[in-house]
Homo-oligomer: A and B are copies of this chain.
Amino acid sequence: MDKLTMEDVFRTLSKPLQDFEVKPGKTALLLIDFQELVCSKPLLREAVGAGLPERQVREALREYDNRIRKAVKNAQRILEACREKGYDVMHVKLGAQTNNPLHTAKVNRKADFIVPNDAEKGRFLREVKPIEGELVFPKTNGGAFTGTNLDFVLRNMDINSVIITGFLTDQCVLATAVYAGDVGYDVLLVEDACTGTTRENHDAVVRIAKDVFLKVKTTRELLRTL
């Protein structure tokens, strides 16, 4: 046998997490922060406005943008399948009711990251935007649960398992997934329907969370089960 890591040791000591099972009426799709603000265009404008050199910003954004586009495309496929099969869909977004900084949660206020509901950069990406009958949860912090009544709504709908997609894996998605697992939801993270600030951070979150407090699948794997 090869060298063991402590990850191997810990995994041996736990019962393997059961496969994630979609259950009509029990499973909801969560779409986290699919908004203009994760796209390269506003990021480019802001970064250059903040004094970063345009050429290097463009270069960094190129790789990032590819990851975002791929994740949006995958989320779109999942969303369409969920709508077709009647799975509940919950859209979570950054959005403050006013531009009064006090109406944005401290964690984002400290970073001066305020996104009023009517801001252009707060608009949903058209590929995955809500349709009538779907719930939207605006938040002004990271995790979808701590700053909204999402948990209240889900439990009142008797939903106990969630499929998580969106941005960014190492920020809002992480906070949402950790909370969901921690309070008892079955959680599926669709690894190619989300991405992180960097690929490295995305991979780290997947490695840390996978089979510990959530299951990880690709879009293709998930679609086969819907």
Show the binding face of A for B, using Cβ within 8 Å: 1-10, 12-15, 17-18, 43, 46-47, 50-53, 56-57, 59-61, 63-64, 88, 97-98, 100, 102-107, 109-113, 132-136, 139, 141-143, 146-149, 152-153, 155-157, 170-171, 174-175, 178-179, 181-184, 197-198, 200-201, 204-205, 207-208, 212-213
Contacts and interface: CB of A to CB of B under 8 A. Distances in A.
Given A15-B110, A152-B105, A175-B182, A197 B146 contact: no
A181 B56 contact: no
* Residue with the greatest number of chain B CB neighbours at <10 A, chosen from A52, A109, A156: A156
Nearest to A42: B13
Contacts of A184: 105-107, 141, 155-156
A8 B106 contact: no
A156 B105 contact: yes
Contacts of A63: 6
Contacts of A183: 105, 141, 146-147, 152, 155-156
